[in-house]
Amino acid sequence: MIAPPDSPSPPRKFKNHNPSFVEAPRRHRKEVMKESFLVLQFCKPDDESIASAPRANSAPYEDYTNVFLSHAHVYVFAEKFDIQPLKRLALKSLHQTLAIFTLWPECVGDIAALA
């Protein structure tokens, strides 16, 4: 039987609802994802000396599109010709650059160019 529209409906009960469960804030999730990205390693310890540290962007007007695409192109080249050390180095360089890159709203296109 359907209740008349003016009568209050009973409270909804959710399956597996636990009132003590509190979702982690979205910011916490982003921090965890960033930390897991930053700890990735792509080169063997003895390969560390062959690459220099990238320079961080310091202003939103700096365009890093060519930097990101250069690392990606070197990786594709190394993949095509099966050059494993170069492939690891390109991936490491891209990872290091992305790890220190400050993502201002104006810079989203720099990273989107990788897609």
**Best CA proximity match to 101, nearest among 52, 70, 48, 62:** 62
Half-sphere exposure of 13 (CA within 13 A, CB side): 3
Distance of CA 22 to the CA centre of its chain: 25
Please give the model's pTM, rounded to 2 decimal places.
0.60
Q: What pLDDT is recorded for position 21?
A: 45
pLDDT profile of the chain (115 residues), mean per 10? 53 50 60 71 56 83 93 95 92 91 91 88
The predicted structure's pLDDT at residue 36: 72
Q: How far apart are CA 93 and CA 34, in angstroms?
A: 17
Q: What is the DSSP string of 7-39?
A: SPPPPP--TT--TT--PPPHHHHHHHHHHHHHT
The domain segmentation of the chain, as residue ranges, is 60-115
Per-residue confidence (pLDDT) for residue 14, from 0 to 100: 47
In the chain, which ranges are continuous DSSP H helix?
26-38, 65-80, 84-100, 108-112
